[in-house]
């Protein structure tokens, strides 16, 4: 089957990530989509700019309208951002029967009604998973995963820059201005940070989430927006003393007599999972009447995280254009003829770290014996915790955390340790994962 | 358009939840699906059993095979569980051209290959979102949301019963046997808890996640399974002293030379979000090469949480049978002609709680003045924190947390407080949400 041909508008942060992810995972993505997805054409602000990634097979053109009109393009991928030139380009692509994938929250929060109506009329898809929370598939979750529910409310950390600033202000007691300057130096905040720190970016995203949750048109102009630039480290400290954290939340709630749509700094109980989302991470808490509270967490921005959502949309469109409707999405994600017989490893070939608890006689030489066994089997030690013997007991607990090792070597070590004369009884073993 | 007619096999916990969610949210679900979804027929183990929910319009029948063969049923919903009678029923439904929605992880983890092949051949859908993590749409996320990624690993808390037991053992220092007995009394654990506490249920679910993540057939027989029944409160305590929590994790990882597929108690750093998932909640951490680490959290079991996933699958099938393929999923989740003009509330009509910081002169009568203003405006106080005046300062910080109140009343209170002679300068106001 011929590949799906994608025209990319914009080779900035998200555009370059999209090129790289599609190239690197080309084979795996085709196994899922049922067809190859190729970027064949792209526009960029500066065509001559040297780029540190492979653009092989991609024709660079200066004229965006020419790309949109190219009959050899099946999907137009709009990654320019902003709502000035993009609106005309997207409407033009739709009018010419192209499917559109976009990451543009500002465009859709303001002009979604017009764009969606045009797409319906032209019978093309406009997909926008990347517009909210980067690679976290929150649009799909709300539109398809939670359709059984009356959504009660959504509360989200949907701007990484402001969450980074608030996290740093809290953990170090630093002032807003200090942390903002650092964030700018690190590239976490723009030179003009207004959109992020004043809640405008979050309000764009919240407008989309609210419309999807409650079945209302997008109405960015009705959103209440208050940023974090006036927050002091003093208030963050007092909030903490009272058991709260301050987060910039986008909140939308169906009250029964109207819908709340608001972005502002918010105190939330420190014990909530969402209160512990730190740094540039995003998290969205959705309360449905059937499912209860659910939370979705991940990187909300960045080149490849956002590209993850862009490419997922490209796969969605490709599957729709390719498969029998009943099997648009394969049961096991990959096309049925693309399953592999990669072996499942037996547990003794798995590599992980270990917690070992030994019952040892409280006398000299125990540690030397045990560490010798571990060293002989090339198992290295991360930490040792030796407990005091209890009154009248001659046996003490020794806890050892190992670095990663193949399980069969750990099994062998345990067998040898249990035979040591300084050890009483069985070794307790629990596996340990850093999950980082 | 005529309604979609669903035949329900099983009226137990999940079946009754499905009936209730579909009835309660009937109108909203139809606005999303583009068509009404009605359960017209159901089987139950005991037809005569009195039930405390509305079965109006549902014909109860004794013979499951008769329901499956009924030409007036479009979708068969299998909520019996287990893999004894269900396999034949599901294959029979498929052979008769019915779409199938099921919550049955044991059935699919063992016989998925045969069932999916039959569905492909018969061109019907077999949907199983409810099989893993209750209402959390993790199947959809992996199959559709993260298709851009090479999945590196998945680590999940996917059995609520065992997570409840471990959470209680840690927080109270109680023994496994004590907490298991309590969990059984509360209905969180079955009379025979083997499937939950020995990791078998988690291994069924992990088998499905692993196949979807890595493009391999389901192979439950290759899963390594170790439960929590031998864990002692002592090891939980030692782990905590070393900065770790013990969770029963399902872990699957693509090592490059084979796939790990294992369920066992695991130490994980206490600072990880997933280490703080307590009680019966589920959470799944997915690491993709493009998106990074993402986490999905919610109730993994229970009547309506699982029904949420069952109904989402029913909506998916209904949309596929109803809409233009390009607009199977509406842009804003609800069908375009079903958007409502529910008003967006102005911020001063929003109700929330507040953190107020006042700068007060350090003299008698301040608290009386302030609390009088709040009482006059019917704003009740949740907590007050008064700081000591700093050396040489005559102004102190007073922090007040209010209960929920309409914002315009709080605005009025702030205006009056700022005019009090005992108050210096502006009141700082931050909104507060419990998010519970």
Instruction: Tell me how many domains chain B contains.
Output: 3
Write out residues 387-416 of B within 8 Å (CB-CB) of A.
387, 397, 399, 401
Whole-model pTM? 0.95
Residues B152 and B294 in one domain: yes
Question: For residue B118, what pLDDT is reported?
Answer: 96
**Do both B234 and B130 map to the same domain?**
no
Cβ pair B159, B226 in contact under 8 A:
no
CATH (domain of A419): 3.30.70.260
Determine the angle formed by the axes of helices B26-33 and B13-24, rounding to 10 degrees. 80
| Chain B partners within 8 Å of A351 (Cβ) | 255
In angstroms and rounded to an integer, the radius of gyration of the C-alpha atoms of chain A is 27
Can you tell me the mean pLDDT for B142-158?
98
Query: What residues of chain B, 136 to 195, have a C-beta less than 8 Å from chain A?
Result: 136-137, 140-150, 155
Q: What's the mean pLDDT in B5-16?
A: 96
**Do A316 and A186 reside in the same domain of the chain?**
no
Cβ contact, residue pair A241, B385, below 8 Å? yes
Helices (H), A64-193: 64-69, 86-95, 105-122, 138-140, 160-172, 176-186
Asked if residue A252 and residue A209 are part of one domain, the reply reads yes
**Do A143 and B219 lie within an 8 Å CB cutoff?**
no
Min Cα–Cα distance to chain B from A273, Å:
7
Examine the domain organization and report whether A118 and A22 are in the same domain: yes
Q: Is B205 marked active-site?
A: yes
- Which chain A residue has its CA at the smallest distance from B401's CA? A242
How confident is the model over B233-241, as a mean pLDDT?
A: 95
Question: How high is the pLDDT of residue B244?
Answer: 97
Mark whether A175 and A209 lie in a shared domain. Answer: yes
Between the CA atoms of A254, A259, A261 and A262, what dihedral angle is there, to the nearest 10 degrees?
A: -80
Three-class SS state of A241? helix
Find the residue in B nearest to A341 (Cα). Answer: B216
Give the model's pLDDT for residue A383. 95
Q: A145 and B126: CB-CB below 8 Å?
A: no
The pLDDT value recorded for residue B412 is 98
B292 lies in the same domain as B183: yes
Average pLDDT over residues B188-196: 93
Quickly state the pLDDT bin for B346 (edges 50, 70, 90). very high
pLDDT value at position A317? 96
Indicate whether B275 and B160 sit together in one domain: yes
Contact A145 B147 (CB under 8 A): no
Tokens of residue B285, six digits: 């951490």
Residue of B nearest to A282 (CA): B294
Q: Is B382 left (phi over 0), alpha (psi -120 to 50) or beta?
A: alpha
- Indicate if the pLDDT at residue B372 is higher than 90: yes
pLDDT at position B12: 94
- Quick one: how far is CA B14 from the chain centroid? 14
- Residues B170-192, mean pLDDT to the nearest whole number: 93
The Cα of B4 is separated from the nearest Cα of chain A by a number of Å equal to 15
Which parts of chain A register pLDDT below 70? none
**A288 and A150 within one domain:** yes
Per-residue model confidence as pLDDT tens digits over A175-214: 999 999 999 999 889 999 999 999 999 999 999 999 999 9
Q: Tens digit of pLDDT for each residue in B46-67?
A: 888 889 899 999 999 999 999 9
- Contact of A311 with chain B, judged by CB distance below 8 Å, is answered with yes
Give A276's contacts in chain B (Cβ within 8 Å).
Answer: 273, 276
Find the DSSP H helices in A190-280. 194-197, 200-214, 233-241
Per-residue model confidence (pLDDT) at position B192: 93
Query: For A265, which of B141, B254, B430 is closest by C-beta distance?
Result: B430
**Within this chain, do residues A359 and A401 fall inside the same structural domain, yes or no?**
yes
Nearest beta carbon to residue B297 from set A218, A222, A294: A294
Contact criterion met (CB below 8 Å) for A284 and A138: yes
Domain coverage including residue B186: 138-299
Q: Average pLDDT, stretch B288-299?
A: 98
Q: What is the CATH number of the domain that holds A147?
A: 3.30.360.10
Q: What is the pLDDT of residue B390?
A: 80
Residue of A nearest to B250 (CA): A433
Task: Write down the mean pLDDT value for chain B.
Answer: 95
Per-residue pLDDT at B389 exceeds 90: no
**Alpha-carbon distance B172 to nearest alpha carbon in chain A (angstroms):** 17
Do B190 and B291 lie in one domain? The reply is: yes
B134 and B17 Cβ atoms separated by less than 8 Å? no
Residue B25, C-beta contacts closer than 8 angstroms, at least 6 positions apart: A148, A149, A150, A289, A290, B311
Residue-level pLDDT at A326: 79
Closest CB from B216, B267, B293 relative to A355: B267
Nearest chain B residue to A241 by CA distance is B385
We report the CATH number of the domain holding residue A125 as 3.40.50.720
How many A-B residue pairs are in contact by the CB < 8 A criterion?
A: 449
- Number of residues that make up chain B: 436
Name the residue among A21, A320, A430 with its Cβ closest to that of B246.
A430
Q: In terms of domains, do B191 and B204 share one?
A: yes
Among B98, B205, B230, B426, the one annotated catalytic:
B205
For chain A positions 37-96, those within 8 Å of chain B (CB to CB) are: none
pLDDT by residue (tens digit) across A264-292? 999 999 999 999 999 999 999 999 999 99
Are residues A205 and A222 in contact, defined by beta-carbon separation less than 8 angstroms? no
Inter-chain residue contact A134 with B291, CB threshold 8 Å: yes
């Amino acid at each position: 089957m011929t590949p799906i041909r994608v025209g990319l508008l914009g080779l900035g942060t998200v555009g370059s990530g999209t090129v790289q992810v599609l190239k690197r995972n080309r084979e795996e993505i085709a196994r899922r989509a049922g067809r190859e997805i190729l970027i064949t054409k792209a526009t960029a602000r500066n065509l001559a700019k040297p780029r540190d990634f492979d653009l092989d097979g991609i024709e660079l053109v200066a004229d965006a309208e020419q790309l949109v009109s190219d009959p050899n393009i099946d999907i137009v991928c709009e990654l320019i951002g902003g709502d000035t030139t993009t609106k005309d380009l997207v409407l033009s692509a739709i009018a010419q029967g192209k499917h559109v994938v976009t990451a543009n929250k500002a465009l859709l929060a303001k002009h979604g009604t017009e764009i969606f109506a045009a797409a319906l009329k032209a019978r093309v898809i406009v997909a926008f998973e990347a517009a909210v929370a980067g690679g976290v598939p929150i649009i799909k979750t709300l539109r398809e995963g939670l359709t059984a529910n009356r959504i009660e409310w959504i509360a989200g950390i949907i701007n990484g820059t402001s969450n980074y600033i608030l996290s740093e202000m809290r953990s170090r007691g630093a002032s807003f201005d200090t942390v903002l300057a650092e964030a700018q130096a690190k590239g976490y905040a723009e030179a003009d940070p207004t959109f992020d720190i004043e809640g405008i970016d979050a309000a764009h995203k919240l407008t989309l989430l609210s419309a999807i949750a409650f079945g209302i048109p997008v109405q960015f102009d009705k959103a209440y927006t208050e940023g974090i630039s006036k927050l002091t480290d003093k208030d963050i400290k007092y909030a903490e003393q009272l058991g709260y954290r301050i987060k910039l939340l986008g909140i939308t709630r169906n009250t029964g007599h109207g819908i709340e749509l608001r972005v502002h700094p918010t105190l939330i109980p420190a014990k909530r999972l969402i209160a512990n989302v730190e740094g540039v991470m995003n998290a969205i808490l959705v309360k449905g009447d059937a499912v209860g509270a659910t939370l979705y967490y991940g990187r909300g921005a960045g080149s490849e995280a956002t590209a993850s959502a862009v490419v997922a949309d490209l796969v969605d469109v490709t599957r729709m254009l390719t498969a029998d409707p009943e099997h648009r999405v394969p049961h096991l994600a990959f096309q049925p003829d693309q399953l592999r017989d990669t072996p499942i490893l037996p547990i003794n070939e798995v590599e992980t770290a270990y917690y070992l608890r030994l019952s040892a006689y409280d006398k000299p030489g125990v540690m030397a014996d045990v560490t010798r066994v571990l060293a002989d089997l090339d198992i290295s030690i991360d930490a040792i915790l030796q407990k005091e013997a209890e009154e009248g007991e001659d046996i003490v607990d020794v806890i050892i955390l190992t670095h990663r090792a193949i399980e069969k070597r750990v099994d062998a070590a345990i067998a040898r340790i249990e035979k040591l004369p300084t050890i009483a009884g069985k070794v307790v073993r629990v596996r340990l994962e850093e999950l980082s």
